[in-house]
Amino acid sequence: MNKEVYFQNLGIRDYKDTWDYQEKLFADIVADKMKKRINPDQRTENYFLTVSHPHVYTLGKSGDLSNLLLNEKQLESKGATFYKINRGGDITYHGPGQLVGYPILDLENFFTDIHKYLRLLEETIILVLAEYGLKGERSPGETGVWLDVGTPFARKICAMGVRASRWVTMHGFALNVNTDLGYFDHIIPCGIRGKGVTSLHVELQRSVDEREVERHVLRYFSQLFEATIVG
């Protein structure tokens, strides 16, 4: 089993361009898995991409389009784009000041349990938030990481939505660091009414170093997945 994970920070990159890149890496891993049936020594790679997207709304394959509250002209006026994509989950927003992570892993290098995979991604973010004195939590029946679960002030700080096929993953998480939360006013985030969103900036009342947050994410991800980060 190959537990090396190649890390790439893609900087600020268009959503569709990044999605296409994910699809290429995903397809390469699946192709290598097919070769492995013939040659057991065939290695499959793992990747962890981080990126910040220009303003964009994405809707998961089971999502409801009515959760987008803007029409095409309004999207254009906000400088935002929209894509219906092949991950799980409903609608979310990506934009500047947000740390988006896309682990593209062959889970057969780690474990074959998609629920465990999601819980470890959540745990990675929970441990990162603890570095900033925040208590991140899971909310029953709702993916992602939240603050003040079970209170009237419950708010999501990290959204998650993944795709997995043949035990290869893509898509991932979006952690609000210095995000302009006003863009969430134009959707029903993740299709959940009556709950807010927040960011590290709002919670700490200061700007937060996004590269520092990224370093924490990689450190805890490598610990929980018993992986070696390369690059």
Structure confidence at residue 88 (pLDDT): 77
223 vs 58: CA distance, rounded Å: 30
Structure confidence at residue 192 (pLDDT): 55
Structure confidence at residue 194 (pLDDT): 55
Residues catalogued as catalytic: 190
Is 130 annotated to bind ligand?
no
Q: What's the number of domains the chain is made of? A: 1
Helix (H) / strand (E) containing 34:
helix 15-38
160 vs 100: CA distance, rounded Å: 10
Structure confidence at residue 159 (pLDDT): 93
What's 195's domain CATH number?
3.30.930.10
Q: Which of 50, 60, 130 is nearest to 93 (CA)?
A: 60
Structure confidence at residue 90 (pLDDT): 82
Cα Rg of the chain, angstroms? 17
Is 91 annotated to bind ligand?
yes
Is 151 annotated to bind ligand?
no
The series of mean pLDDT values per 10 residues for the chain, 231 residues long, is 97 96 97 91 96 94 86 90 86 95 98 96 98 96 92 94 95 97 82 76 98 98 98 89
Is 160 annotated to bind ligand?
yes
Residue 71 lies in domain: 4-230
CB atoms within 10 A of CB 1: 10
Give 190's DSSP letter: G
Is 161 annotated to bind ligand?
yes
